[in-house]
A and B are shown apart, each in its own frame.
Chain A
Amino acid sequence: MSAPAPEFDRGNARHGDDSRGRKRGMPGDRTVLAVEGLDVGTRHTPLLHDVTFSLHRGERVGLIGESGSGKSLTALAVMGLLGEGLRAGGDVRLSGRTAATRNLLDVGEREMARLRGDAMSMVFQEPMTALNPTMRVGAQVAEVMRIHGTQSTTGARRRVVELLDQVGLPDPAHLARSYPHELSGGQRQRVVLAIALANDPALLICDEPTTALDVTVQATVLDLVVRGVEERDAAMLFITHDLAVVATVCERVLVMYGGRIVEAGPVAEVFGDPRHRYTQGLIAASDLVGEGGRRGRAALPTIPGTVPAAGRFPDGCVFRSRCDHANDLCASLPPWTPRGEHPAGDRAYGFACHHPAGERPSHSTSPAGALAEGSTVEMEQHRG
């Protein structure tokens, strides 16, 4: 084994909080993950286009969209877990224990393995397949600490009980000795969460962690995820197709369709006043109840058609094949229109649509506002 690359050499730094803080990027820069212009595709089929977002420490961001929109692919690209035959281009930077000096897409597998489960970790949808059926769950939690050298064998054993206790499992010392098949779905997902949080990651990615669970179990697991992330001041990327879950768990949301981020912003603004026609349709279709009571037996609003297969999305605006407002203009790619100031940058609050819903963007003197202004004029010309 050769010596680890200096960027990922944590040395003893992680055990002292002060030195860890100093090592992490520039002072005041709280960015944990910065993804810039991420493209993923097979040789012939592009799957993700120009995905750009960033996550700050302590921030919980949702990534929503229907199946086939590229949510999981984004997560896998960040984690360096893309399948064979998939190529990623762009820039992904993580500042966890060390400053973000390298593009993760250029980093070799050995170094990625060092990061995974340590500075960044992931909770998968299906807890049964994420756990090893032939290993006791305690050993699986200890393994991640042993491999990354964060705990000695005896220290890890003690820490396992603490972690299992933190995720609300009853009698953790005894439970650590059971096998995954002896646990219920909710308990398994808690074990997976304990593994993900074992090394205090700076970034936690959750890919539909509660989709396979019952509602009451989902509620407790969501609570544990939020608490675990808050305690560690970690950044979280939460992938789901359930808008209500995102609204409950996250502060900010990214809406994905056809491999592009089509809208982004704070949860209240995006869900309360969506601009992109896809976001608007998604919210209308998923709202079965209506505000403050029953919608009645009126037909639900739907988005016509279905999500196209990968690579079959139209050019220009990806949503135009299903959009009622689409016209010739939509054959060109809609520019990103910022909606307002956001600490995480222009791409954190805005949309990409030629015919946005809602009222015109508010006036502002910032360059961002001017850009929004321009696209409004363009939009009105095409309406008239």
Chain B
Amino acid sequence: MADPDTPAIELREVYRDFRRPRTSLREAPPVVRAVRDVSLTVGRGERFGIVGESGSGKSTLLRLICGLDRPTSGEVLVEGRSVGDQPHRRLGWLRERLQLVFQDPMSSLDPRMRVRDIVAEPLVAQGIGGDHTRRVRELLERVGLDPEAADRYPHQFSGGQRQRISVARALAPDPDILVADEPVSALDVSVRAQVLNLVDEVVEGLDLTLVFVSHDLSVVRHVCDRIAVMQAGEVVEVGETEQLFAEPQHAYTRSLLAAIPDLHAALAGRTAQDLARGASPDAPD
């Protein structure tokens, strides 16, 4: 374990540019700046949320944090160790410390593997030999699944149960950091609540640092302590959850907040027109 004072995740002036296909022989190909000048610190044990609309760069940022992509410039540090400039084969330590839960529970589990192999895969990938049966049982129980589920295939489970399997797999190497990329946006409301409760419980119970990415502000508000709002590759605002919701500083954050349909506000008489007026940032308040 590294020094407990070093932050779990630190980003220093991170940029990520993507080159578009060349459109002219003479001109340089156009460049898309997916992430620009992002500096963030996520403390240990913190629940950090990243919100933004599609195309805002939140997924690119997540890939950078997880070492699945390299920044064009800037530094990405996880527990004080550099991630951005390492080749994949030297990131084994990162896979032990940091694990991911993906959005789509249908495509993130291999349909031809049994649940026990799926859950044990991170252990096998790290070269930990031996029999993982007990660990798999323990993990499945931890996420609220019947240990008998180990012998079945992913297609035999519902969306919510598959997301539980994803969480069990992420917990297998006993990580310190859990990164969740839109883990509930493909789920129904009643199941969404179950999965959010599970995430909450494992983060609390195992003392994990959580990075939670979502486009749904109300979900992030429920889960996270601190939130970064992204727009067009930039982090436009970072703040404590309640403060950000109470007094949004940036115009974009305000329009984002104004556009969320809310049950209580709607019953109190907020119409679609009010939502639309709040959503366009140039409209007068």
* CB of B218, distance to nearest CB on chain A (Å): 5
* CB of B81, distance to nearest CB on chain A (Å): 31
List residues of chain B with CB within 8 A of the CB of A326.
none
- Chain A CB within 8 A of B259 CB: yes
List residues of chain B with CB within 8 A of the CB of A241.
188-189
- A245-B53 CB under 8 A given contacts A223-B272, A223-B276, A282-B189: no
* CB of B40, distance to nearest CB on chain A (Å): 22
Q: Which chain B residue lies CB-closest to A283?
A: B263
Q: Is the CB of A271 within 8 A of B275?
A: no
Q: Is the CB of B256 within 8 A of A215?
A: yes
Q: Is the CB of A282 within 8 A of B190?
A: yes
Contacting residue for B263 out of A227, A287, A299, CB 8 A: A287
A12–B106 CA distance with the chains assembled, in angstroms: 52
* CB of A180, distance to nearest CB on chain B (Å): 17
- Considering only residues 259-281 of chain B, those with a C-beta below 8 Å from chain A are 259-264, 266-267, 270-273, 275-276, 278-280
Q: Which chain B residue lies CB-closest to A308?
A: B158
- Chain B CB within 8 A of A150 CB: no
- Chain B CB within 8 A of A301 CB: yes
Give the A-B contact count at a CB cut-off of 8 A. 134
Per-position 1/0 for A288-328, Cβ under 8 A of B? 11011011010111110011000000000000000000000
- Chain A CB within 8 A of B222 CB: yes
- A288-B221 CB under 8 A given contacts A219-B279, A271-B267, A302-B190: yes
- Chain B CB within 8 A of A376 CB: no
- Chain A CB within 8 A of B196 CB: yes
List residues of chain A with CB within 8 A of the CB of B270.
248
Q: Is the CB of A306 within 8 A of B279?
A: no
Q: Is the CB of B263 within 8 A of A215?
A: no
- A306-B256 CB under 8 A given contacts A271-B263, A285-B193, A288-B221: no
Contacting residue for B279 out of A215, A226, A286, CB 8 A: A215
List residues of chain B with CB within 8 A of the CB of A299.
197, 200-201
Instruction: Please tell me the number of chain B residues within 8 Å of chain A, measured between CB atoms.
Output: 45
* CB of A25, distance to nearest CB on chain B (Å): 29
A223–B188 CA distance with the chains assembled, in angstroms: 25
Q: Is the CB of A289 within 8 A of B279?
A: no
Q: Is the CB of B218 within 8 A of A268?
A: no
A357–B255 CA distance with the chains assembled, in angstroms: 37
- Chain A CB within 8 A of B78 CB: no
List residues of chain A with CB within 8 A of the CB of B261.
218-219, 222, 242, 244-245, 247-248
Contacting residue for A268 out of B158, B188, B267, B280, CB 8 A: B267
- A214-B215 CB under 8 A given contacts A241-B188, A247-B261, A285-B190: yes
* CB of B253, distance to nearest CB on chain A (Å): 11
- Considering only residues 200-250 of chain A, those with a C-beta below 8 Å from chain B are 214-220, 222-227, 241-245, 247-249
- Chain B CB within 8 A of A372 CB: no
List residues of chain B with CB within 8 A of the CB of A216.
53, 255-256, 259, 279-280
- Chain B CB within 8 A of A281 CB: yes
- Chain B CB within 8 A of A66 CB: yes
Instruction: Please tell me the number of chain A residues within 8 Å of chain B, measured between CB atoms.
Output: 48
Q: Which chain A residue lies CB-closest to B201?
A: A299
Q: Is the CB of A214 within 8 A of B53?
A: yes
List residues of chain B with CB within 8 A of the CB of A42.
none
Q: Is the CB of A300 within 8 A of B193?
A: yes
- A66-B188 CB under 8 A given contacts A243-B263, A286-B263: yes
- Chain A CB within 8 A of B161 CB: yes
List residues of chain A with CB within 8 A of the CB of B222.
288-289, 295, 297, 300
Per-position 1/0 for B213-236, Cβ under 8 A of A? 001111101100000000000000
Q: Is the CB of A222 within 8 A of B272?
A: yes
Q: Is the CB of A225 within 8 A of B272?
A: yes
- Chain A CB within 8 A of B54 CB: yes
Q: Is the CB of A281 within 8 A of B272?
A: no
Most chain A CB inside 10 Å of its own CB: which residue of B215, B263, B276: B263
- Chain B CB within 8 A of A272 CB: yes
Q: Is the CB of B219 within 8 A of A288?
A: yes
- A66-B190 CB under 8 A given contacts A216-B53, A223-B275: yes
- Chain B CB within 8 A of A19 CB: no
- Chain A CB within 8 A of B132 CB: no
* CB of B274, distance to nearest CB on chain A (Å): 8
Q: Which chain A residue lies CB-closest to B252?
A: A216
Q: Is the CB of A289 within 8 A of B262?
A: yes
Q: Which chain A residue lies CB-closest to B189?
A: A286
- Chain A CB within 8 A of B194 CB: yes
List residues of chain B with CB within 8 A of the CB of A282.
189-190
- Chain A CB within 8 A of B191 CB: yes
* CB of B153, distance to nearest CB on chain A (Å): 16
Per-position 1/0 for B51-66, Cβ under 8 A of A? 0011000000000000
Contacting residue for A219 out of B193, B259, B267, CB 8 A: B259
A22–B184 CA distance with the chains assembled, in angstroms: 51
List residues of chain A with CB within 8 A of the CB of B197.
299-300, 302
Q: Is the CB of B275 within 8 A of A222?
A: yes
A249–B54 CA distance with the chains assembled, in angstroms: 24
A374–B66 CA distance with the chains assembled, in angstroms: 61
- Chain A CB within 8 A of B151 CB: no
- A244-B189 CB under 8 A given contacts A215-B217, A226-B272: no
Q: Is the CB of B54 within 8 A of A214?
A: yes
- Chain B CB within 8 A of A103 CB: no
14 residue pairs from A and B, CB less than 8 Å apart: A67-B188, A219-B272, A220-B280, A222-B276, A241-B189, A286-B263, A287-B263, A288-B221, A289-B218, A289-B264, A292-B264, A300-B193, A302-B190, A306-B160
Shortest 10 CB-CB contacts between residues of A and residues of B: A247-B266, A223-B276, A244-B261, A303-B190, A219-B279, A214-B53, A219-B275, A285-B193, A300-B193, A219-B259
